[in-house]
């Protein structure tokens, strides 16, 4: 993947409830830029970004979104690490299977 210029941009977390259309536009911009950079998923260190990037993008912009600790627990083979992916709104199982991570 090439360098992603939006890697530190905000998803609009503080506006999530009060200004949802603005958050949808911000999430679409982030997800579109990630796709353009060649991403097949997004990994975040912010729980609000995880929620917004899973819930708010337009349907055509959706892709798997992970909280970084989920991937760490998977890499370490911790018990229950594969179970957390069942709670995602965009199913990451096809991608994880394709990458032979599960």
41-71 residue pLDDT tens: 999 999 999 999 999 998 999 999 999 999 9
**pLDDT-derived band at 15, boundaries 50, 70, 90:** confident
Q: Is residue 7 part of a domain?
A: no
* Number of H-type helices and E-type strands within the chain: 4, 2
Q: Is residue 8 part of a domain?
A: no
Q: Taking the model in full, what pTM does it have?
A: 0.86
**In DSSP terms, which residues pair with 42 in a beta bridge?**
65
Give me the domain span that covers residue 24: 13-98
Q: Is residue 6 part of a domain?
A: no
Q: Is residue 46 part of a domain?
A: yes
The contacts of residue 6 (CB under 8 Å, 6+ apart) are 29, 30, 33, 34
* CB of 10 closer than 8 Å to CB of 19: no
Q: Is residue 4 part of a domain?
A: no
Weakest mean pLDDT among 11-15, 26-30, 65-69, 98-102 = 11-15
Provide the number of structural domains found in the chain: 1
* CB of 30 closer than 8 Å to CB of 9: yes
């Amino acid at each position: 993947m090439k360098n992603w210029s939006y890697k530190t941009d905000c998803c609009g977390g503080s506006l999530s409830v009060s200004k949802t259309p603005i958050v949808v536009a911000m999430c679409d911009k982030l997800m579109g830029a990630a796709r353009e950079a060649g991403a097949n998923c997004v990994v975040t260190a912010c729980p609000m970004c995880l929620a917004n990037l899973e819930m708010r993008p337009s349907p055509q912009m959706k892709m798997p979104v992970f909280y970084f600790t989920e991937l760490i627990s998977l890499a370490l083979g911790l018990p229950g690490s594969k179970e957390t992916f069942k709670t995602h709104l965009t199913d990451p199982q096809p991608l994880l299977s394709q990458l032979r991570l599960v």
